[in-house]
Structure 1
Amino acid sequence: MAPKVLVVLTSFGYIEAAKQPTGWYLPELSHPYDVLTHAGVEIVTASPKGGVAPLDPASVEMFKEDAGAQAFAAEKKAVWEQTQPLSSFRGRADEFAALFYPGGHGPMFDLVDDEDSIAVIEEFAAKGKVVASVCHGPIVFVNAKRPDGKALLADRDVTGFSNAEEDAVGMSKYMPFLLEDRIKAVGGSYKKAEQPWGELVLVQDGGKLITGQNPASAKGVGEAILKAIGA
């Protein structure tokens, strides 16, 4: 039977302070999706509210030259427009090989503190399942704990969207906090590529914890998940 990966998308679609739409970031779902589904992995999507998970329109524009991302946006709308409520996946980690969170600014506002999300992450981790994320996605791990009560990210090499990258896109002032800072605050060992926008994928715990820094790292995160689940 094909392995299944649970993909969790944000339900947060508008940053009031910035007066601009947000959501999840196109290539951070499309690239891993293509890698995984090409290998026969089944993708199941969830979001805090269920239904349509907002796609950040800026990401569609930014990656208009990315043929794979544009094909995904045009042909796979059901993937993000028909998500199931995240609460319905509590207690179901045994059904899945991995859990994956794409980024975009949305998770910084809703998934970071979402009780269902934290519960699902902790359950997957406790059962030795792969948990993975990219760009702003790793923010979902900062409030999760291991079975021994330690922070999930404590003493782990972790990456995600850097402060320098956030500054470069002019969004630092609109964020409730900065991802890099929060990872460090819970004891994670934050790492980043030598240059902003450089690709970096970190694999810890024998493949059980996978993080990618930015959109350029999304395909690599998909490949790391595939390797970790042995598909």
Structure 2
Amino acid sequence: MSKGKVLIVGSNANKVEIQGGGWGATGQYLNETVVPAMAVIEAGYEVVLATPDGTKMTLDAASDAAAHFGGDEAAYKRARQFWDSDPVMNNVRTLQSVIDEGLDRYAGVFIPGGQAPVVDLMQNAELRTILQHFHEKAKPTAMLCHGPISVAAAMPHAREFRAALIAGDPEKAKEWARGWQYAGYKMTVFSATEEKYVEDNILKAKIYFDMPYALRTAGGEVIINPKDFAPHVVEDRELITGQNPASDHPIAEKLVAALNRTTA
């Protein structure tokens, strides 16, 4: 018997804008998606995956390695099989269809990382509706790595906020962020120094803004672990955020505990 439904919101972006013009390849991280999803299922919940256009997310090639599973080849293969073949990962809904069906039936929501959410989710109008519901109902709302940038979608003017960040205009961005439901929340996100490592070694280019800067500009109280790529999770009210790929198991534990408290 299912203890309830948990919504996973994925991105449809497979490229991200880079400074100087052009695009860099991106997607969503394997371990960041699969580890929390499998933990939630193991805890007795049903998982529903939805994306803006109802198609499956692109796997970020940088995440497709056993290194993100502590070098455990068996764990990596289980994760890859879940991503490739499990119905949860392949019966993808649109965000709008989930809203139309009714958000009351969901006990919690989770958004994984990879740079993809920086492109579409942080300015998605359907996600705004979803985040407003989970905020008003105080239901567990978990996001990992770059996933926490998705909280910007809850702004009435998320698109304008993102455009101001890209234009390098923080004062205008602050204006567009007024009325944000997460202002004053403690949260974490992929750090600027972690981002620099990805830019230098994987993307080979710079994106337009780093995640802590964006969330602080919006009014969030961003708490970063100064040790790069070490596990770090922050929980404040309904919002549970993890800093980086190494936070996959810790955020899964926090999310399951929050779900159990609210559904008991």
Both proteins in one fold, TM over 0.5: yes
Q: Distance in 1 between matches of 2:17 and 2:75?
A: 31
CA-atom RMSD in angstroms: 2.2
Report the number of matched residues: 227
State percent identity of aligned pairs.
Answer: 30
User: Whose radius of gyration is greater, 1 or 2?
Assistant: 2
Given the alignment of the two structures, is residue 209 of structure 1 paired with residue 239 of structure 2, yes or no?
Answer: yes
1:194-216 C-alpha deviation (Å, 9 max, x unpaired): 301111111111xx110000011
Structure 2: segments with no counterpart, 5+ residues: 157-177
Counterpart position of 1:113 = 123
Matched letter for residue 250 of structure 2:
G
Aligned partner of 2:40 in structure 1 is 36
Matches of residues 1-231 of structure 1 in structure 2 within 5 Å? 1-15=2-16, 17=18, 20-61=24-65, 62-63=67-68, 65-66=71-72, 67-77=74-84, 78-90=87-99, 92-145=102-155, 150-170=179-199, 171=203, 173-205=205-237, 208-230=238-260
Q: Which moved more, 1:182-191 or 1:48-57?
A: 48-57
CA distance in 1, matches of 2:46, 2:207: 33
Contact 2:125/2:153 (8 A) holds in 1: no
Give the Cα separation in 1 of the matches to 2:184 and 2:55: 36
Q: In 1, distance between residues paired with 2:25 and 2:62? A: 8
Task: For 1:99 and 1:19, locate their aligned partners in 2 and report how far apart those are by CA, in whole Å.
Answer: 29
Indicate conservation of the 8 Å contact 1:93/1:127, yes or no.
no
Distance 1:63 1:218 in 2: 10
Structure 2: how far apart are the matches of 1:80 and 1:113? 23
Amino acid at match of 2:246: A
AA at the equivalent of 2:91: Q
Query: Is 40-49 or 163-172 further displaced after alignment?
Result: 163-172
Q: Could you list the per-position Cα deviations for residues 70-97 of structure 1 after superposition, in whole angstroms to 9, with x for gaps in the alignment? A: 3121244243333111111225221111
Q: Which runs of 5+ in 1 are unaligned?
A: none
| Larger proportion of helix | 2
